[in-house]
Chains A and B, each alone.
Chain A
Amino acid sequence: MERVVVSMQDPDQGVKMRSQRLLITVIPHAVAGRDVAEWLVRKFCVSEEGEGQRGVAGETPYFWTSTLWPAAELDYAIYLAKKNIQKQGALADYEKVQYDQLHKKLNHTWDLVLMQAREQLRAAKRRRKGDRLVIACQEQTYWLVNRPPPGARHVLEQGPERGARPASHLQTSSDFYKREIDYTRKALGRTRVKSSICLEAYLKFSSQRSSHDPIMAGCLPSNPWITDSVDYWTLNAPTVATPTKLRVERWGFSFWELLGDPVGRAHFMDFLQKEFSAENLSFWEACEELRFGGQAQVPGLVDSVYQQFLAPGAARWVNIDSRTMEQTLEGLSQPHRYVLDDAQLHIYMLMKKDSYPRFLKSDMYKSLLVDAVTPPETRRRVFPFMRKPRHSSPSPALLPGSGESAAASGGDEA
């Protein structure tokens, strides 16, 4: 920071210095805050927001906000005492409060504080009026920044200004009200569900899931964060041969839960293959890829989906009702990422209402439940200083192909 100030004073590259007239006395080398900010922007290509110190003062780096000189309590007490002595009752409310607090805190050295204050005032009287004014200004600004009045934005600390800035003119425009009216009319027409039904749903959801919530019910064998053992994560890895019992149970909670788990989805696919309806799930997966894929891939994906699943005589033709099929085929002439939404929803509902319940009742699912493991609990180590070493894991950012770099970046042990 000091270097910045020195370079600002450079006569060629520094900020424009002017002599400012304050009533009769001339304050030399006054620098307008705006000039400082502009110069900083130019010099460092800094964006407009941020640490520009507002105010007139800033010439000699005596009171600069350097971290090398923290704003000590003693100094603040001396400053307030000076202010109090000079003009009785000139302290602002928040300053009075601070003054009282400091008095209580520094009661043992209060004599020192008052003596320092009086000495500083006496020394100041001996200076030239111009210098006195300058230093007084600096001091005031310094304390305004480091002990801001309540509610004032602490310039260096608060960050970007929030608020209804850009929108104040939005508020009163007719477009804004027209949109509000439109939205409210539509909202009036929507169907609502009784509160009692909605709230009951929370109870059911929470009670069903509470044993699956590690924070509420703990997890077996143990919570990795508490015992430093990664067994829980190993047993519940995304693709594991034998899923845990809790995990297999979760597949029964909802169709979405089953599809969200890679192991669950794989088993469901096996089941569908036995029922000769696996193309439904494949179609759904292809539609998901379209919806969340890159924009550039959209036309290609739409085409491949059409060829594989929707074209008459396609290899994996999906059974969609005729109306949806018509609408979809029409939409295909102008492919966009949501063009298959209706068809996808239809197939999703088909699986959810038909295949999924059969899956849950099937022998395959039942045997999965039986085979599922319930790991035994690992007790917390009694002697914490015999802590297990915390093993690092390969980062997902490493592609499966680059096996050699996985060894190199094994990571340190904590």
Chain B
Amino acid sequence: MCDQTFLVNVFGSCDKCFKQRALRPVFKKSQQLNYCSTCAEIMATDGLHENETLASLKSEAESLKGKLEEERAKLHDVELHQVAERVEALGQFVMKTRRTLKGHGNKVLCMDWCKDKRRIVSSSQDGKVIVWDSFTTNKEHAVTMPCTWVMACAYAPSGCAIACGGLDNKCSVYPLTFDKNENMAAKKKSVAMHTNYLSACSFTNSDMQILTASGDGTCALWDVESGQLLQSFHGHAADVLCLDLAPSETGNTFVSGGCDKKAMVWDMRSGQCVQAFETHESDVNSVRYYPSGDAFASGSDDATCRLYDLRADREVAIYSKESIIFGASSVDFSLSGRLLFAGYNDYTINVWDVLKGSRVSILFGHENRVSTLRVSPDGTAFCSGSWDHTLRVWA
């Protein structure tokens, strides 16, 4: 049997010149249009022109990036570990698990501290979000989300609400209530709407604004009360996995890290990317500002953590070891910025000396990969959440 395709001739008005001609289907940006043969030929030559422009744009971008690297290198006169030779080495570090929070039925994906320094909110794969008083290990509230894989959760600065989201592509805010007659889920507010999973969320300085990062490659700033989008941030070429707000006095920037191996610093007011750093070799899982706000650290699947300085506009330190081959899932600084705690997928937590670049200590305890790690607001302890269904507070 022979396979014949017959070209069907359709007559009609061309989508470009509107003349009545025999039409051919033409695909432009995955949309089908019907052009007459003359317009189709013009488009073919146009396309060629477009391709040429695309290639020249790409080479222009590459050459500019090269120039930028040269400029950055010019002012790099000394390495961090050289400067840090004058600093005393840190002594032995003994940190133990002081509390173990058991209660999640599945992997813990995210956690956040309350400003009261003892309460935390944590979310897990089975859709449960729990608020604990981690000092007494009591559970105070529990919400079941309608979706699984709740990858982001945050505590409001006032301590009166929590936000969470994940595979439902939304960020929902739940006011915390102790009223036994009220179901927490009843007062839920759906704030953010993305077109892909929510990977991170954080309140700004008040309960009324929330910043989200999503697998659709964008970050967005929302007004909690109305759910209105205040600003959106486009620029990542792949999923955005993490974000952190700057502690600086001008308080208008935040940093985000994504699967495109980039960490980008954004101006919240204009929505523009202010700085970008692309030195990681794999997904950037976590970003956290240095306490002074002049730098930030990032943890990545390439098993390294790196420190980027914002004023020097470059990477200034790499925290890695040959023996560490699993990715770092989350990082945080101690209060003085001297220590960097990083949780890895090989179930351990490594403590790095930020200035000297060496590992100070390695903490064992979790029985599965560490997915989230945050230092408490007053720096007395840090909490790590893991796929082994538990959270541990270390001090």
Instruction: Name A residues whose Cβ lies closer than 8 Å to a Cβ of B.
Output: 47, 49-50, 159-160, 162-167, 170-172, 174, 176-181, 183-185, 187-188, 190, 192-203, 205-207, 209-210, 212-216, 219, 223-226, 230, 232-233, 236, 254-256, 288, 291-296, 338, 341, 345, 348, 390-393, 395-398, 405, 408-409, 411-414
Contacts and interface: CB of A to CB of B under 8 A. Distances in A.
B163 to A, nearest CB: 14
B363 interface: no
Nearest to B65: A184
A391 B118 CA distance: 12
Contact of A177 (B54, B241, B273, B313): B54
B44 interface: no
Interface in B374-394: 375, 378-382, 393
Given A292-B208, A295-B223, A225 B380 contact: yes
B312 A213 contact: no
B76 interface: yes
Contacts of A223: 380-381, 395
A396 B336 contact: no
A188 B67 contact: yes
B16 interface: no
Given A393-B118, A393-B133, A47 B168 contact: yes
A205 B337 contact: yes
Contacts, number: 279
Contact of A185 (B64, B76, B355): B64
B346 to A, nearest CB: 16
A396 to B, nearest CB: 3
Contact of A178 (B57, B167, B205, B239): B57
Contacts of A236: 378
Contacts of A49: 149, 167
B291 A209 contact: yes
B216 to A, nearest CB: 6
Contact of B75 (A47, A159, A194, A225): A194
Nearest to B226: A295
Given A216-B90, A295-B228, 15 more contacts: A160-B151, A162-B239, A167-B237, A194-B75, A195-B77, A206-B337, A209-B291, A223-B381, A256-B248, A256-B249, A294-B224, A396-B114, A396-B115, A397-B177, A411-B136
A90 B64 CA distance: 53
A345 B279 CA distance: 34
Contact of B160 (A209, A397, A411): A397
Given A210-B338, A215-B380, A159 B238 contact: no
Given A195-B314, A210-B338, A205 B292 contact: yes
18 contacts: A50-B167, A176-B237, A192-B312, A195-B314, A200-B83, A203-B86, A205-B291, A212-B335, A215-B95, A215-B335, A215-B381, A292-B209, A295-B225, A348-B249, A393-B116, A411-B136, A412-B138, A413-B136
A194 B312 contact: yes
A219 B314 CA distance: 35
Interface of B: 50, 53-54, 57-58, 60-61, 64-65, 67-68, 71-72, 75-80, 83-84, 86-87, 90, 95, 98-99, 114-119, 125, 133, 135-138, 140, 147-149, 151, 158-161, 167-168, 175-179, 196-197, 204-206, 208-209, 215-217, 223-226, 228, 230, 235-239, 241, 248-250, 259-260, 269, 273, 275-276, 283, 290-292, 294-295, 309, 311-314, 316, 334-339, 354-355, 375, 378-382, 393, 395
Given A206-B336, A395-B119, A414 B395 contact: no
Contact of B54 (A172, A198, A254): A172
Contacts of A338: 269
User: Which 10 pairs from chain A and chain B are nearest by CB?
Assistant: A396-B159, A209-B336, A213-B336, A225-B395, A397-B176, A295-B223, A177-B57, A292-B206, A184-B64, A193-B311
Contact of A199 (B72, B78, B238): B78
A288 B216 CA distance: 31
B136 A233 contact: no
A50 B378 contact: no
Contact of B380 (A177, A197, A224, A345): A224
A392 B355 CA distance: 38
Nearest to A200: B83
Given A236-B378, A338-B269, A296 B77 contact: no
Contacts of A159: 125, 149, 151
A164 B225 contact: no
A283 to B, nearest CB: 16
A342 to B, nearest CB: 12
Contacts of B292: 201-202, 205
A202 B355 contact: yes
B345 to A, nearest CB: 12
B249 A255 contact: yes
A187 B339 CA distance: 30
Contacts of B54: 172, 174, 177
Contacts of A226: 98, 395
B64 A294 contact: no
A212 B248 CA distance: 19
